[in-house]
Amino acid sequence: MADPYIKALHIIFIVTWFAGLFYIVRLFIYHVEASEKPEPDRSILGTQLKLMSNRLWYIITWPSAVLTLFFGTWMIISNPAMLSLPFMQIKLSFVLILYIYHFACHKLYKQLQNDIIKYTSTQLRIFNEIATIILISVVFLIVLKNELNWIKGTIGFILVAVLLMLGIRIYKRIRNQKEGK
């Protein structure tokens, strides 16, 4: 059994890491939208969003990702039998995907810090939902562990993804109507 203090620290840093991942992509979206504004708004907003992104990324998100890995590894070393559990193997697969997502966010962060804009705000909104889907999957996996019915789980996973994409489309339509586009 993992030390409850280590487990608590692991959970705290998971929460702060996800908060950072969710918010950094929102800042990317705002940065892209600010780049479409006329001067001086574009420069003022761009400078402020770069500063906010920098602080969030290096003061909260990166340290949380590292500490999540540190405390998670500590728990596995303390109880290596956890690795033989099927739900843990699947969870660690999602964790790997989340770290890949984190590095993709880092690449986007670097591009935007250099005013390289390759994606639209809508594309970034869709990208932002990857972390949401991973979070939902891992929470259900951990809470339900071996009780999870894989057919229902897969259907639920697909349903959540479809609902998120639908929500993005509806939001875009409402926003375009308000802006007269």
Q: Residue 165 CA to chain centroid, in angstroms?
A: 15
For the chain, how are helix, strand and coil distributed in percent, rounded to 5? 90, 0, 10
- Residue 110 marked in a binding site: no
Which of 163, 164, 142 is closest to 22 using CA atoms? Answer: 164
- Residue 91 marked in a binding site: yes
- How far apart, in whole angstroms, are the C-alpha atoms of residue 40 and residue 107? 27
Quick one: tokens of 16?
């702060």
| Residues in the annotated binding site | 10, 91
| Residues in the annotated binding site for heme | 10, 91
